[in-house]
């Protein structure tokens, strides 16, 4: 069967790989759609230190069960549409022992440190599956990146009545917007693209501004009566927005970092103490898939507005190359394995 392999930075190939044979604890999953994520892009550009080469890409999955091993619970049957949790934790490190496997010291994400799903079939342990009869392949493939944003909102303990600033309106930032709204907060979104701030408003942000043409601090002061946001979620990974989050958050506020910084960040650490703020990292997701699937089933998310383009497996490598050369108004690229 065919698969998209990231051979080395800047190079992909369609390769023939063996058909998987599921174990007794696994299902054979036929892939419908897989999304490209920012991690795939950074791996392609050689900017993601966790990326291993060569590797089959893909961890944002919508598929259908073809067959199930003999120890798979009867609830998982052929013909069932599913998405999956693509993270594999070790079970023995301190994070796993503390019940936070999303932060496993030796985490192996599909497409990064083990083979991914941008191929025709994969074998998956049934415990990683999340089913929905109501969702399409493309909606199921959106679930994983949205869970990352929902997890960030939960890390920030976002609750009803909070005013939350989300910096960066890529797919994970949109997930943080959706997760914050789902928790009852009011959300202000910021990006450098009018296209992306428009999608943020479609998701439900009450205000969304382009920071290249508007003064973010001034706008936040007006929005919060000078207090600053209760929670700021940084979904860019830029050293400037890392600093801005600390400077703009309210006294006793909470800052959540999802974005991977590309260079060291310098702070005036006195701000941390004077404001008595909390700074939290957010990695992957924990128990967020059921909530996100229910959210998508309710039709609350503007799925079609978020998907920038859909390509076949044959054209997937070219689409990734084009994205690396011009990020532009790209939010989500889907690879349709049924084409």
Q: Which domains does the chain have, with CATH numbers?
A: 2-131+302-336 (3.90.180.10), 149-281 (3.40.50.720)
- Joined together, the tokens standing for residue 301 give 């998310």
Helix 171-182 to helix 137-155 angle (10° resolution) is 70
pLDDT of residue 300: 86
Instruction: Name the DSSP class of 80.
Output: -
pTM: 0.96
Give the span between the Cα atoms of 122 and 40, in whole angstroms. 19
The contacts of residue 94 (CB under 8 Å, 6+ apart) are 105
| Amino acid 61: pLDDT | 98
**Predicted pLDDT at 261:** 81
Q: Which two tokens stand for residue 259?
A: 């974005």
The count of other CB atoms within 10 Å of the CB of residue 13 is 11
The backbone torsions φ and ψ at residue 309, rounded to the nearest 5 degrees and listed phi first, read -160, 155
pLDDT score for 262:
76
Distance separating alpha carbons of residues 262 and 240, to the nearest angstrom: 11
Half-sphere exposure of 82 (CA within 13 A, CB side): 28
Is 248 in a helix, a strand, or coil? helix
Q: What is the pLDDT of residue 64?
A: 98
Dihedral, 235, 207, 179, 48 alpha carbons, nearest 10:
-10
Q: What is the pLDDT of residues 269-307, one digit of tens each?
A: 899 999 999 999 999 999 999 999 999 999 989 999 999
pLDDT of residue 48: 87
Residues of the chain with pLDDT under 70: none
User: How confident is the model at residue 90, as a pLDDT?
Assistant: 96
**The pLDDT value given to residue 292:** 98
Structure-token match 């023939």, residue found: 16
Whether the Cβ atoms of residue 248 and residue 182 lie closer than 8 Å to each other: no
Opening angle at CA 139, ends 21 and 143, nearest 5: 75
The pLDDT value given to residue 289: 97
């Amino acid at each position: 069967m065919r698969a998209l392999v990231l051979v080395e930075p800047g190079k992909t190939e369609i390769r023939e790989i063996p058909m998987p044979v599921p174990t007794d604890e696994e299902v054979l999953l036929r892939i419908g759609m897989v999304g490209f994520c920012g991690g795939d892009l950074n791996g392609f550009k050689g900017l993601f230190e966790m990326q291993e080469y060569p590797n089959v890409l893909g961890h944002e999955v919508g598929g259908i069960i073809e067959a199930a091993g003999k120890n798979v619970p009867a609830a998982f049957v052929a013909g069932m549409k599913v998405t999956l949790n693509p993270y594999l934790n070790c079970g023995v490190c301190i994070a796993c022992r503390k019940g936070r496997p999303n932060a496993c010291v030796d985490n192996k994400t599909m497409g990064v440190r083990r083979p991914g799903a941008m191929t025709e079939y994969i074998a998956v342990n049934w415990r990683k599956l999340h089913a929905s009869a109501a969702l399409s392949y493309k909606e199921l493939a959106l679930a994983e990146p949205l869970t990352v944003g929902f997890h960030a909102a939960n890390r920030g303990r976002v609750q009803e009545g909070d005013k939350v600033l989300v910096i960066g309106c890529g797919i994970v930032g949109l997930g943080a917007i959706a997760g914050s709204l789902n928790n009852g907060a009011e959300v202000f979104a910021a990006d450098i693209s009018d296209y992306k701030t428009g999608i943020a408003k479609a998701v439900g942000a009450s205000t969304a501004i382009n920071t290249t043409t508007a003064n973010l601090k001034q706008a936040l002061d007006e929005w919060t009566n000078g207090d600053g946001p209760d929670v700021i979620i940084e979904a860019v990974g830029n050293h400037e927005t890392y600093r801005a989050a600390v400077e703009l958050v309210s006294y006793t506020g909470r800052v959540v970092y999802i974005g991977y910084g590309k260079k060291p960040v310098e702070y005036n650490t006195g701000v941390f103490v004077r404001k008595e703020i909390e700074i939290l990292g957010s990695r992957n997701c924990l128990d967020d898939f059921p909530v996100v699937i229910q959210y998508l089933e309710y039709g609350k998310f503007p799925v079609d507005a978020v998907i920038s383009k859909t390509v076949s497996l044959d054209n997937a490598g070219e689409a990734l190359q084009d994205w690396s050369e011009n990020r532009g108004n790209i939010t989500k690229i889907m690879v349709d394995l049924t084409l």
